[in-house]
Amino acid sequence: MSLVRLGAPGIALALSIVSASFGYYLGRSTPTKNIVQEDEPEDEPTDDGDLSAVTAGTFEPCKLVLIVRTDLKMTPGKISSQHATLACYRALVQRNTNLVRHWERTGQAKIALKATSEKQLLDLQSVAKNLNLCARCVQDQGTTTVLAIGPAPVEVVNRVTGKLRLL
């Protein structure tokens, strides 16, 4: 069969298939860079479970949630400066690179939720850690202000945060 017989739509389809296959092959065979150096200490000591145990299916969406205490009446600027996304990212990139890459490929969803007290944040952190999820708190002047959970599959994160309201 010649290319002339295929016509423009056929050529475009064939080119798309070849390009997708080539991109997939390159993505699978290229080693990823070590984003965080091995000897770099973590910001806080943790009692994490097995963070590498959490996996996501090929088409399963992942998300990271930020749970903010509303009883502190923080300004939007204060909230943004307190977020704990980086702490979770740094911990997971060392212990579960595949999950981090999957989260990056699926849009890096970040959801902000409300918590009513420090006790609620600490309870949510405990539940998340029991599910082997990465959970990191940020403290400001000794007060826990924000908790980040994830990134992890949406279904697993929702077991911890599914009843919280959006910020």
Query: Considering the domain boundaries, does residue 39 fall inside one?
Result: no
Q: Report the range of poorest mean pLDDT among 25-39, 49-63, 136-150.
A: 25-39
Query: Considering the domain boundaries, does residue 35 fall inside one?
Result: no
* Per-residue confidence (pLDDT) for residue 22, from 0 to 100: 64
Query: Considering the domain boundaries, does residue 46 fall inside one?
Result: no
pTM of model > 0.75:
no
Verify that 10 and 77 share a domain, yes or no: no
What's the CATH number where 74 sits?
3.40.1490.10
Verify that 22 and 78 share a domain, yes or no: no
Could you tell me the residue range of the domain that residue 10 belongs to? 1-30
Verify that 127 and 157 share a domain, yes or no: yes
Distances (CA, A) of 41 to 32, 35, 46, 101: 21, 14, 12, 22
Cα angle value 22/25/31 (rounded, 5°): 130
Per-residue confidence at 25, pLDDT binned at 50, 70, 90? Answer: low
Task: List, edge to edge, every strand of the sheet that includes 135-140.
Answer: 109-115, 62-69, 143-153, 135-140
Instruction: Report the chain's terminal Cα–Cα distance, integer Å.
Output: 59
DSSP per position, the chain: --HHHHHHHHHHHHHHHHHHHHHHHHHHHSPPP-SS-TTPPPSS------GGG----TT--EEEEEEEESTT---HHHHHHH--HHHHHHHHHHH-HHHHHHHHHTT-EEEEEEES-HHHHHHHHHHHHHTT--EEEEEETTEEEEEEEEEEEHHHHHHHHTTPPB-
Verify that 68 and 143 share a domain, yes or no: yes
Per-residue confidence at 113, pLDDT binned at 50, 70, 90? Answer: very high
Verify that 103 and 149 share a domain, yes or no: yes
Verify that 19 and 99 share a domain, yes or no: no
Verify that 14 and 56 share a domain, yes or no: no
Per-residue confidence at 6, pLDDT binned at 50, 70, 90? Answer: low
Query: Considering the domain boundaries, does residue 137 fall inside one?
Result: yes
Verify that 150 and 71 share a domain, yes or no: yes
Contact assessment for residue 92 and residue 51, using Cβ atoms and an 8 Å cutoff: yes
Verify that 17 and 55 share a domain, yes or no: no
Q: How many domains does the chain have?
A: 2
* Per-residue confidence (pLDDT) for residue 131, from 0 to 100: 94
Verify that 58 and 15 share a domain, yes or no: no
Verify that 121 and 61 share a domain, yes or no: yes
Matching residue, tokens 């300004």: 75
Verify that 78 and 18 share a domain, yes or no: no
* Per-residue confidence (pLDDT) for residue 152, from 0 to 100: 94
Per-residue confidence at 140, pLDDT binned at 50, 70, 90? Answer: confident
